[in-house]
């Protein structure tokens, strides 16, 4: 038979062990919750001009998935290699239909909060989509947003645009030709239909970010740009401040360039998403 002192000793040990296990269980639960803080979030993540789903945006996708988010990286109409699209075979507006398909996929997988995100032209597309379909999503993430047809002052682009517009006026919008294109200071040629070319390069067309920002409903927007990105000189007034005010929106500058922003920005993006 245990002596009272012995019983008290083992009871205290047992009580301490139970408390320790409870603390461990609570800590594990908290850690698990933190690790999967983005469960239920579905994110359409689009590559930039002449990129691929597994390219520069891959580090961002992996970081988001590690936090529990569902990520779909569609291959967009401007996909290609080394920053050069293979072609422009569909208009800017029709290219955005790929986002609808990606959203449907995320919802079928159980996503309840949908965000549209992208890098460079992919960010431009996220903004363009939200300008028309903002009520369908929870917010947008724009990483090193790019493609600025209204800011281009290249004579060859202006000449090609006028030629493509003339073809459209003549009912030849589906005629294919080689057209000048540009990306990060480099000019090259890409095959495109006249209709598609005009839609992407018209300075008053659907790909103009300041216009699309002004058409947004009030919604959370995260704008992330590198301090070595050429567009940073335009400041927050270029696009960000044109959007309707939202207390959750953020404009963030990071130590990065245009290309590596998706690799540098995961912490900022994840922290922002956790506030929503």
pLDDT averaged over the chain?
A: 90
Position 249 confidence tier, pLDDT thresholds 50, 70, 90: very high
Question: Tokens 């009912």 identify what position?
Answer: 171
3-state DSSP: the chain helix, strand, coil percent, rounded to 5?
45, 20, 35
Q: Is the pLDDT assigned to residue 188 strictly greater than 50?
A: yes
Q: In sequence order, which residues have a C-beta less than 8 Å from that of residue 56 and are 6 or more positions away?
A: 47, 48, 119, 259, 260, 262, 263
In tens, the pLDDT along 77-133 reads 999 999 999 999 999 999 999 999 999 999 999 999 999 999 999 999 999 999 999
- 122 lies in the same domain as 245: yes
- 239 lies in the same domain as 268: yes
- 27 lies in the same domain as 46: no
**Structural domains in the chain (count):** 2
Q: What are phi and psi of 216, to 5 degrees?
A: -65, 145
Q: Is the pLDDT assigned to residue 246 strictly greater than 60?
A: yes
176 domain residue, yes or no: no
- 29 lies in the same domain as 42: no
| pLDDT at 196 (0 to 100) | 98
2 domain residue, yes or no: yes
Q: Is the pLDDT assigned to residue 257 strictly greater than 50?
A: yes
Mean pLDDT, residues 227-239 taken together: 97
77 domain residue, yes or no: yes
pLDDT > 90 in the chain, percent: 85
Position 217 confidence tier, pLDDT thresholds 50, 70, 90: very high
- 91 lies in the same domain as 137: yes
Position 34 confidence tier, pLDDT thresholds 50, 70, 90: very low
Structure tokens at 276: 């929503």
Mean pLDDT, residues 134-163 taken together: 96
| pLDDT at 195 (0 to 100) | 98
What pTM, to 2 d.p., does this model score?
Answer: 0.86
- 222 lies in the same domain as 101: yes
- 56 lies in the same domain as 10: no
| pLDDT at 24 (0 to 100) | 37
| pLDDT at 268 (0 to 100) | 98
pLDDT > 70 in the chain, percent: 87
Q: How many CB atoms lie within 10 A of CB 73?
A: 22
Nearest CA to 141 among 63, 75, 78?
63
Interior/surface letters 86-109, b for 16+ CB within 10 angstroms, e for the rest:
ebbbbbbeebbebbeebbeebeee
Q: Distance between CA 129 and CA 22 in Å, rounded?
A: 48
Position 18 confidence tier, pLDDT thresholds 50, 70, 90: very low
Q: Is the pLDDT assigned to residue 20 strictly greater than 80?
A: no
Q: Which domain holds residue 25?
A: 1-35
Mean pLDDT, residues 195-223 taken together: 98
- 26 lies in the same domain as 118: no
Question: Which one is predicted more confidently, 27 or 173?
Answer: 173
């Amino acid at each position: 038979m245990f002596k009272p002192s012995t019983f008290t000793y083992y009871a205290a040990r047992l009580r301490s062990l139970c408390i320790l296990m409870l603390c461990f269980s609570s800590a594990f639960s908290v850690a698990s919750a933190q690790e999967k803080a983005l469960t239920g979030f579905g994110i359409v993540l689009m590559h930039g001009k002449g990129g691929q789903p597994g390219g520069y945006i891959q580090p961002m996708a992996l970081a988001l998935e590690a936090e529990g988010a569902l990520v779909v990286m569609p291959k967009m109409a401007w996909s290609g290699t080394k920053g050069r699209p293979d072609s422009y075979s569909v208009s800017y507006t029709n290219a955005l239909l790929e986002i609808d398909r990606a959203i449907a996929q995320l919802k079928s997988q159980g996503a309840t909060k949908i965000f549209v995100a992208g890098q460079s032209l992919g960010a431009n597309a996220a903004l363009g989509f939200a300008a028309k379909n903002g009520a369908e999503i929870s917010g947008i993430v724009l990483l090193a947003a790019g493609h600025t047809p209204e800011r281009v002052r290249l004579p060859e682009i202006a000449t090609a645009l006028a030629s493509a517009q003339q073809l459209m006026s003549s009912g030849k919008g589906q005629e294919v030709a080689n057209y000048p294109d540009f990306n990060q200071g480099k000019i090259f040629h890409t095959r495109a239909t006249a209709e598609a070319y005009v839609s992407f390069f018209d300075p008053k067309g659907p790909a103009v970010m300041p216009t699309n920002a002004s058409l947004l409903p009030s919604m959370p927007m995260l704008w992330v740009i590198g301090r070595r990105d050429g567009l940073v000189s335009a400041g927050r007034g270029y696009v960000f401040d044109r959007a309707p005010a939202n207390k959750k929106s953020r404009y963030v500058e990071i130590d990065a360039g245009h290309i590596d922003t998706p690799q540098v920005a995961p912490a900022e993006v994840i922290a922002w998403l956790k506030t929503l």
